[in-house]
Structure 1
Amino acid sequence: RFVLKEDVASNTALKSSAQRSIRSKLLEQMPVLSQPINNLNQTSDGPTDPTGGDENQLSLIESIWPKKETLYLLKCREHISILVCKGLPLFFQRFDEAYFPTLRLVHQYPTLLPQVQVDRGAIKFVLSGANIMCPGLTSPGASLPDQLATNTPVSVLAEGKQHACAIGFTQMSSIDMRKINKGIGVDNIHYLGDDLWAIESI
């Protein structure tokens, strides 16, 4: 679980080679980052472009992290690293695991990660940092995609709420969550009100 203390170890501007490597990893882990930004900003009421839009328009990753902007690596205790661009925390990583977008970034771009939804009864537990149990994801007020694999990064929505309230990764597949329906379904690693959420700029 992410806990940021005041004793940040370092804040380093990354070399071009390191930035290219990280950009490649982000695109591999989140293919939606390569999509044209305009296509992702359509609302359910707005028009869609059947041609896929202008091929010259910015991709999502270029909008979030322009190629000419330097990326900074903020290393914190508990083996947490945060990728920062223009003073904004964008992605974080635990040890050498996958990168996760921050909640603030997911609020801007909700399609960055697959979405699960917890029922109303689970909300207070999620916002206290608790992991999400399978029954909170399989009840009538919840929502769970069919094809989630184990260790998939997900954003966690709450019944009746518009924006994600947490970021985590699945502890088992969605098939097993429904079948077993007990134990931890999603490991909660970043949630509304935690120390990472409190950082608006660095």
Structure 2
Amino acid sequence: MPLVVPGVTNQSGDKTEQWTNKLVGKQLHDGHESNETTDLDNHLQLFAKKELPESHRVIQPGQMVTKDFNPDRLNVHVKEDGTVSHVTHVSSRLQNSITSAPRSKLKSSVQRSLRGSLLSTYPLLEPVIDEVLPKKASLEQMKLPDRASLYVLDGEPVFFQHDGNTLLPHLKLVHRFPAAFPTVRIDRGAIRFVLSGATLMAPGLTSQGGRLPEPREVSEEDGGEGVDAEGHWSRELEKDEPVVIMAEGKEHACAVGLLVAGTKEVKDKGKGPVVEEAHFLGDGLWKLNLD
């Protein structure tokens, strides 16, 4: 029988937190012992695979997976040595069809706070912030699945966030102001995976067609940080930092999300997940009808 975890609710985030606490740093094994067992030779705690929920999959480093909508399946990501690095549940329902919901107008104080957060997270937006979010704008908030919110201005999507976390730009905003957001570039072979909702893996960025940052000296006279002629961003990007995903041979960005590994780590290891749960061209957020 699968292990029953007390307190797990129907919220994917709650389940994920529960399993994160139980699995991260432990090594999966095929024995019958519980997760209290310790491998004394390697100083590792072990977790029996039989105690994982019935609906689960173990994802090896570099393994490409698609994200079909299965809200109860546990995705267990393991490192080279077999220890669990992190866990996830279903891909965000924002990747699937979304039904338009009522919008509510935000108070001026809330709009000022959001404007400040945008500039703090994306300082390159400053020259165009009055176009993105005018001070006297009538910004509206739409509640979305998975405790997400979409912010809409004059019928156009501007940015969104999950459960009050980092503000992420909608791709339509990225296409209007492409120079305002840090970027990486995937090779042609990775495009179909990213546009199907799969996790972006390191090989799609480290190959000949991919582009990761190449740090260099920049100055205000040169316009500050940005991409060079070859498509390399001017500084390393950190884990949990927002990033826009460009594609080899394409003019416009194809996805945006949060880094689960810093770009220097991606270069050093050359494998593993880089961006999960991205908002991509053709997903539910892109197709959402705001009329």
TM-score, normalization by structure 1? 0.83
Number of the residue aligned with 2:281: 192
Tell me, yes or no, if the aligned pair for 1:72 and 1:83 is still in contact at 8 Å. yes
CA displacement 1:4-52 (0-9 Å, x = unmatched): 53273x41101111111111111111111212xxxxxxxxxxxxxxxxx
Residue 259 of structure 2, aligned match among 170, 179, 185 = 170
Is the contact between residue 167 and residue 188 of structure 1 (CA under 8 Å) also seen in structure 2?
A: no
Alpha-carbon distance in 2 for matches of 1:7, 1:123: 28
Please give the residue correspondences for 1:81-96 in structure 2 after superposition, counting only pairs within 5 Å: 81-96=149-164
Query: What displacement does 1:89 show?
Result: 0.7
| Structure 1: stretches of 5+ with no match in the other structure | 36-59
Matched residues in 1 for 2:267 and 2:105: separation? 44
The answer (yes or no) to whether the contact 1:168–1:187 under 8 Å persists in 2 is yes
CA-CA distance at 1:68 after TM superposition: 1.9
Residue from 126, 132, 136 that aligns with 2:204: 136
Structure 1 residue 151: Cα displacement: 0.9
Change (3 A) 1:111 1:145: same
In structure 2, what is the Cα distance between the partners aligned to 1:7 and 1:61? Answer: 26
- The residue type equivalent to 2:110 in the other structure is A
Cα RMSD between the aligned structures?
Answer: 1.5
Partners of 2:179 and 2:144 in 1: CA distance: 27
Q: Distance in 2 between matches of 1:153 and 1:105?
A: 14
Kept in 1, the 8 Å contact 2:98–2:288? The answer is: no
Q: Distance in 1 between matches of 2:285 and 2:107?
A: 25
Shift of 1:201: 3.6
Q: Deviations over 1:112-163 (max 9, x none)?
A: 2111000111010000011100111111110011411111111111111111
Q: Is the 8 A contact 2:171 2:281 kept in 1?
A: yes
Identity of aligned residues (%): 42
1:6 aligns with 2:99: yes
Of structures 1 and 2, the larger Rg is shown by 2
TM-score by length of 2: 0.58
Alignment of 1:65-76 (within 5 A): 65-76=133-144
Equivalent of 2:121 in 22, 29, 32: 29
Question: Are 1:151 and 2:243 counterparts?
Answer: no
2:110 matches 1:18: yes
Aligned equivalents of 1:13 and 1:98: distance in 2?
20
Residue identity opposite 1:151 in structure 2 = D
Task: Note if contact 2:244-2:256 (Cα within 8 Å) is conserved in structure 1.
Answer: yes
Structure 2 residue 171 is matched with structure 1 residue 103: yes
- Give the count of matched residue pairs: 177
Q: CA contact under 8 A between 1:89 and 1:200: conserved in structure 2? A: no
**4+ residue runs of structure 1 moved beyond 4 angstroms?**
none
Q: Name the amino acid aligned to 2:262.
A: S
Q: State the match for 2:74 in structure 1.
A: none
